[in-house]
Amino acid sequence: MKKLLMQVVTGIAMLSMAGLASAAGISNNVVKIGVLTDMSGVYSAIGGEGSVTAAKMAVADFGGKVLGKKIEVISADHQNKADIASEKAREWFDNDHVDMVIGLLNSGCAIAVQKLGQEKHHIVISTGAGSTALTNKDCSPYGIHYVYDTYSLPKVAASAIIDHGGKTWFFLTADYAFGHSLEENTAKFVKNHGGKVLGQVLHPLATSDFSSYLLQAQSSGAKVIGLANAGGDFVNAVKQAREFGIVQGGQTIAGMLVFLSDVKSLGLDVAQGMEFATAFYWNRDAASRKWSERYFKKTGAMPTMNQAGVYSATMHYLKAIKAAGTDNSDAVMKAFRAMKIDDFFSQNGYLRPDGTMVHDMFLAEVKKPSESKGPWDLLKIIKTVPGDEAFMPMSEGSCSFVKK
């Protein structure tokens, strides 16, 4: 019996480590881009294989070569665990001659890899992680935070929701760096904007049953239930809030980080009317539509802001190498900063010294089923917030090497 139990316990341990992915790549004398993302877990619909496809599209569109040398894309699964992410990145930097790492869907992973990049002088571009620590406490001269952060998202969404009467808030927060940071920043905006926070409850990452937490939110009487989580957690929480009659009872659900894939997963019936901040929507203008339709042909899904961000950042990185005439990280960072980023993804974008890629953000609203004309016709953009308004001013930040 004892032996058997040991085996079961071993099995449990194995399950929790499941899916150790591997990536190959040996050659030198190439520009190598490593896409480190969540390939199989709770965030894989947001980034995952789609991010790899986006990076490969950028390389192909650039011509496959830069300064006469081949560009290669490799990928691996960081499993949303910081130790696995930094181990993989270390292997890439030390043995596989990877020049730049992009992706990183989880703030814990992003902070760990960005630190490693700083130590080894490699550029690390986070397109999915949210925590503002990446450009403040843990900022790196080689770190780029490209798509959104936990300041810009609530800055755009929370103020709109409060203006519409959502004065009292209760938070359901994913219990790790990203959730904490998102909740803290949102709470700040709520208070500054004349709102009040009535309480919060922490839940583990990848929770399937939110009913207990939702009941606590319900009994708090708060007008708005703020979800400081993402991906599958967000989807389950919204679905169950509806099931328990919370939305029908007059409380509003506000997602602080919502992806297109989440809205798709919920369906318009459930999600209609929801307002949230986004950095990108495929059907926003002609350029975004054109790129997204190409992406759709390859993957069968419209891109999330994250996947679009991976393409845009990879493209800009390659342009920076060309401009700098070298893939030396210091020179590339300088060139990266020197060029404006204006493409189908980013409007009025530029890279700040602290690593924030400042660009316009949008307030989106989920369409009613009657307004939608196709399976991916899900959102309307109701407001554009200029980058300098949406992102935290550097003067309020705490990045050690930025002179105030």
Partner 1 sequence: MHLNIHMVLAQLMLGLNNGVFYALLSLGLAVIFGMLNIINFAHGALYMLGAFVALLGYTKLGPLLGMPGFHVNYWAALIVAPLVVALVGVLIEKTMLKRLYKVDHLYGLLLTFGLALVIQGVFTNYFNVSGTPYNAMPASLKGVVNLGFMIFPKYRLWSIGISLAVCFGTWFLAERTKLGSQLRAGTENPSLVQAFGINVPLLVTLTYGYGVALAAFAGVVAAPIYSVSPLMGSDVIITVFAVVVIGGMGSIMGSIVTGLALGMVEGLTKVVYPPAANTVIFFMMILVLLVKPAGLFGRE
Segment near partner 1 (CB under 8 A); pick from 161-169, 208-216, 359-367, 391-399: 208-216
State the pairing for strand pair 123-126/143-145.
Answer: parallel
Q: Structure tokens of 215?
A: 């009941």
Q: Residue 181 CB, nearest distance to partner 1 (Å)?
A: 17
Burial of 193 (0-12, 13-18, 19+ CB in 10 A): middle
DSSP letter (8 states) at residue 304: P
CB 93 within 8 A of CB 38: no
- Does position 199 interact with partner 1 (CB under 8 A)? The reply is yes
- Does position 235 interact with partner 1 (CB under 8 A)? The reply is yes
- Does position 22 interact with partner 1 (CB under 8 A)? The reply is no
- Does position 2 interact with partner 1 (CB under 8 A)? The reply is yes
Question: In the set 232, 255, 349, 355, which binds partner 1 (CB under 8 A)?
Answer: 232
Question: In the set 240, 299, 372, 398, which binds partner 1 (CB under 8 A)?
Answer: 240
Number of residues that bind partner 1 (CB under 8 A): 56
Among 362, 353, 363, 361, which Cα is nearest to 393's? 353
Q: Structure tokens of 310?
A: 């991976």
> Which is closer to partner 1, CB of 236 or CB of 292?
236
DSSP letter (8 states) at residue 10: H
Q: Structure tokens of 177?
A: 């760096």
Among 99, 104, 37, which Cα is nearest to 318's? 99
Among 180, 233, 172, which Cα is nearest to 200's? 172
329-338 and 305-324 are packed helices; what angle lies between their axes, rounded to 10 degrees?
Answer: 110
Residues 310-329, mask of contacts with partner 1 (x by CB under 8 A):
--------------------
Question: In the set 97, 115, 193, 239, which binds partner 1 (CB under 8 A)?
Answer: 239
- Does position 250 interact with partner 1 (CB under 8 A)? The reply is no
Q: Which residues bind partner 1 (CB under 8 A)?
A: 1-5, 7-12, 14-16, 18-19, 40-42, 44-46, 48, 175, 199, 201-204, 206-209, 211-213, 215-216, 219, 231-232, 235-236, 239-240, 243-245, 261-262, 264-267, 270, 301
